[in-house]
Amino acid sequence: MVAKKGLAELGEFGLIERIRQQAVPAPYLRLGIGDDCSIQAVAAEDELMTSTDLLLEGVHFNLEWTDFESLGYKSAAVNISDIAAMGGVPRCLYLGLAVPETVSVEQLEQFVAGFVAAAQAYGAVLAGGDTCRSGVALVISVTAEGTAPQGQAVCRSGARPGDLVFVSGTLGDSALALRMLQQGKQPSAQLAFRHHRPQARVTLGRRLAETGLATAMIDVSDGLVADLGHILSASGLGAVLHLEEIPLSSGFSEVLIRQPEWLELALTGGEDYELLFTVASESAGDIVRLAAELALPLTRIGTLQAEPGLLILQQDGGHYPFQRSGFDHFSSDKIY
């Protein structure tokens, strides 16, 4: 097995050196890969935000459906999305890799290239990590640190009754691509891209935080219903959404013509990494202007109310009967 030999010959510290060579410097990073810790400066006027994710082969991804470069890109982007979801600027990323014998040095380098490309796309750098072998599956851990000026971070808990619910971009594309892959079908390039190379909405999150427009915010990782549920539960509120307002891509709508039941994927599918946020009703015009400025659809999909619960109204006035509330790692069926 060439792959096995390559990694064993290179060794742990050889691999770390290869990874280090792909990392780029940053003015705030005083010490990057190669010591016990990274060292960075944090400006006095900023707060530090930190988020961590674990990604497991067979749970979060399937190596038959993705290339290593895209997997690296996605691993960084989904963690950066957590920084974006509070209005922060991502800075330092940390990458843990547990690698089975079946993965080659070349594949790991492609992974790191994708990871570093995503970091760079959002102004962040790879600042540290850990590598080891894995008995069976590829395991990826990512921690992201970001900053925002003190008091600007947008939490899940700040929403108020009467606030409008907005979401960026379109929903369901990633889950639809995954559903098609699960069924042995080939998703369109547009849908596949949304699944394999999700975009973190860093600029949008930043603008919503610095303007103070968003009262609460979260990124759509578990699905619209589940993630809105997190805002509702943290803010002690309920919401009414309008099904026909949920923004869908042309690719999603096309598939829906033949498979109308897959509409549910836009509500509960997850992995969209769009920003879901609430704003005071008098700020609606500001959101319209921000959408134009960023050339990014920001769609009003509903309203918050004091009464708990989530209703999704259909055009005929009936309640849309969604089957599940979103992805739960311990209660859901295997998906990869």
For a copy of itself, the binding residues in 77-136 under the rule CB under 8 A are 82-83, 85-86, 88, 92, 94-99, 127-136
Burial class (CB in 10 A: 0-12, 13-18, 19+), 148: buried
DSSP state of 75: H
Angle (nearest 5°) at CA 190 between 184 and 195: 65
Residues 283-302 that bind a copy of itself (CB under 8 A): none
Nearest CA to 276 out of 211, 208, 325 is that of 208
Q: In the stretch 147-176, what mask flags binding to a copy of itself with x, by CB under 8 A? A: ---x--x-xxx-------------------
Nearer to a copy of itself, 12 or 190 (CB): 12
Stretch that binds a copy of itself, among 118-126, 168-176, 295-303, 322-330 (CB under 8 A): 322-330
DSSP state of 222: S
- State the minimum distance, in angstroms, from the CB of residue 131 to a copy of itself: 6
Label residue 272 left, alpha or beta by phi (over 0 means left) and psi (-120 to 50 means alpha): alpha
Sequence-ordered list of residues with C-beta below 8 angstroms from that of 263, at least 6 positions apart, any chain: 172, 256
Residues 184-223 that bind a copy of itself (CB under 8 A): 218-219
Nearer to a copy of itself, 180 or 226 (CB): 226
Burial class (CB in 10 A: 0-12, 13-18, 19+), 280: middle
Indicate whether 277 belongs to the interface with a copy of itself (CB under 8 A).
no
Candidate list 18, 26, 47, 311; residue touching a copy of itself; CB under 8 A: 47
Nearest CA to 80 out of 195, 174, 203 is that of 203
User: Residue 250 has which token pair?
Assistant: 């042309």
Nearer to a copy of itself, 192 or 201 (CB): 201
Contact (Cβ atoms closer than 8 angstroms) between residue 269 and residue 181: no
Stretch that binds a copy of itself, among 30-38, 112-120, 191-199, 235-243 (CB under 8 A): 30-38
- State the minimum distance, in angstroms, from the CB of residue 335 to a copy of itself: 11
Nearest CA to 71 out of 123, 112, 30 is that of 112
Indicate whether 59 belongs to the interface with a copy of itself (CB under 8 A).
yes
Indicate whether 42 belongs to the interface with a copy of itself (CB under 8 A).
yes
**Residues β-bridged to residue 175:** none
Candidate list 40, 70, 107, 199; residue touching a copy of itself; CB under 8 A: 40
The alpha-carbon radius of gyration of the chain (Å, integer) is 21
Candidate list 34, 236, 308, 318; residue touching a copy of itself; CB under 8 A: 34
Indicate whether 8 belongs to the interface with a copy of itself (CB under 8 A).
yes
Nearer to a copy of itself, 128 or 172 (CB): 128
